[in-house]
Structure 1
Amino acid sequence: DGTLIDDWSWLVTPDFVNVIVVDEAGMFPMFRQVKYAIDGTSLAPVGGYIEPGEDPLVAAKREVLEEIGYVADTWVALGEYACDANRGAGTAKLFLAINARHVAQPDSDDLEEQQLLHLTKAEVQQELLQGAFKVLPWSAAVAMALLYLDTTTA
């Protein structure tokens, strides 16, 4: 009915991209990293904030090149999802990059400790089911990418 609640918490953060990358050999580059809200380490895809006025696909391509030095010719939009339906916290824009290839050294400004891994599809599936992707948008991106790959290339 349009009623405003004065003390309602609303978190304003930029929208962001998460990208599941599959290289030409069928491997999935993923990070094992530490994040402030996570106990221990987590597996993580490429991701980052969308700059003001930036197209989400352009942001996804930029992040993949900056973080892991890859480019891809085939891109699939996996959807846009609110992170917290009641409090904001930005919108996740999820992508899948297929047949990616390494073209440059990473040039990331991430401050967190991280290690780049190259996992098989079976390893990614197993890690997802074991809860190794400890941030909801990361788990959603991985699940959506695996579902897409299983239903379009079977």
Structure 2
Amino acid sequence: MASSSIRLSARSSSSSRLLTFTLYPLIGVFATLTLFFLYDIERGIGSPSPHVLHRLRSSSSLSSSSSGDLAGDAALDSAPSLPAPVYKGKPWISDLTASRSVIYQTAYASCELHDVWTEDRSGIQEDWLWAEEIDHVNVIVVDEAGDFYFFKQRKYGLESISFATVGGFIDVEKGETGFEACRREVVEEMGMTSPVHVSSFTSSQPYDPSNDPNWVQLGRYRTASNRGGGFLTACLLKSAVKIPKEYLKQAGYEGLGTGAGVLDGEKGNADGEEQLVVKMDLTKTRETLLAGGFQEVKWTASLALALLHL
């Protein structure tokens, strides 16, 4: 029995040494790494990026210190300051606007809260969310054979790939009109224009787009009457022709958008979005329109208006 006790005691001593010199240190290392990992997660959550902090600073609704988030307040105080973006468009203020406050702006959009009078001026609707955008254009392009030119592309706000019209923002900084923007966008995105315009490149007579029968102005429309969204100017260009390369600069092409007549299934790139230019005849265009192939309502409405003039 004595020898057996001695053996058991020796085994217990060996197990204790094993725990002391191997397992316990491993547990300690694991616990330390876990604490560092949790600290990094907490630090990441509590320290927004400079861009997010800039948006927090710009928002009047988030400027109150009543939230009690001391870590967030400290991050706001210590983060680098970024210049506030300035919206390029004209603010919407009507006779029913009682007050207006900006939540956040970019150069092309402004998210705001308005207080709006009722029509009979008997009361005010507070906190009316207003999302304004730079005015923009859509152009339906049809060549001399009656074929239509569209883009096939993906857009962030759409559920799948869609057909799209030529379009873009009006250059408000240059005082550009909607009609001028329509003509510019067709040149930049399709490398096309009116045949009358092309003829003017070798003529002594200046080009007068207002007397060009190939341009049809389809109107100017508010995108979302209760929420903003800017105004859309829509145009139809009939008998469109490709601009000879030597006249691209003269036509106003500045190297933006897809440009230079990317046609017949070739791919282009505009504003970071891949675009496939497609050509459809009248029958295919109508079928695609009625089947919902133009997933944005502005493209659908512009095309439907153009078809009424053809």
Question: What TM-score do the two structures reach when normalised by structure 1?
Answer: 0.91
1:118 shift after superposition: 0.7
Q: For 1:51-96, what per-residue CA distance to the aligned partner results, in whole angstroms no more than 9, with x for missing partners?
A: 1110111100100000010011410011111110101101111100
State the partner residue of 1:135.
Answer: 296
State the partner residue of 1:125.
Answer: 286
Pairing of 1:1-154 with structure 2 (within 5 A): 2=96, 3=117, 4-52=124-172, 53-72=175-194, 73=196, 74-103=214-243, 104=245, 107-108=256-257, 109-149=270-310
- Tell me how far apart the structure 1 counterparts of residues 141 and 237 of structure 2 sit (CA, whole Å): 5
Please identify which structure carries the higher strand content.
Answer: 1
On the 8 A contact 1:32/1:117 being kept in 2, the answer is: yes
- Tell me how far apart the structure 1 counterparts of residues 256 and 160 of structure 2 sit (CA, whole Å): 25
- Tell me how far apart the structure 2 counterparts of residues 36 and 100 of structure 1 sit (CA, whole Å): 30
- Tell me how far apart the structure 2 counterparts of residues 83 and 140 of structure 1 sit (CA, whole Å): 11
- Tell me how far apart the structure 1 counterparts of residues 282 and 218 of structure 2 sit (CA, whole Å): 17
Unpaired runs of 5+ residues, structure 2, are: 1-94, 97-116, 118-123, 197-213, 249-254, 258-269
1:5 shift after superposition: 3.1
Question: What TM-score do the two structures reach when normalised by structure 2?
Answer: 0.46
Asked which structure has the greater CA Rg, the reply is 2
Unpaired runs of 5+ residues, structure 1, are: 150-154
CA RMSD of aligned residues (A): 1.6
- Tell me how far apart the structure 1 counterparts of residues 275 and 154 of structure 2 sit (CA, whole Å): 7
> Which amino acid letter does the alignment assign opposite residue 97 of structure 1?
L
Please identify which structure carries the higher helix content.
Answer: 2
Tell me how many residue pairs correspond in the alignment: 149
- Tell me how far apart the structure 2 counterparts of residues 17 and 42 of structure 1 sit (CA, whole Å): 18
On the 8 A contact 1:69/1:107 being kept in 2, the answer is: no
- Tell me how far apart the structure 2 counterparts of residues 111 and 136 of structure 1 sit (CA, whole Å): 22
Aligned residue for 2:176, secondary structure, equals coil
1:21 shift after superposition: 0.5
> Which amino acid letter does the alignment assign opposite residue 55 of structure 1?
T
Which structure has more RCO (C-alpha within 8 Å, separation ≥ 6)? 1
- Tell me how far apart the structure 1 counterparts of residues 139 and 167 of structure 2 sit (CA, whole Å): 6
> Which amino acid letter does the alignment assign opposite residue 133 of structure 2?
T
User: How many percent of aligned residue pairs carry the same amino acid?
Assistant: 41
Aligned residue for 2:130, secondary structure, equals coil
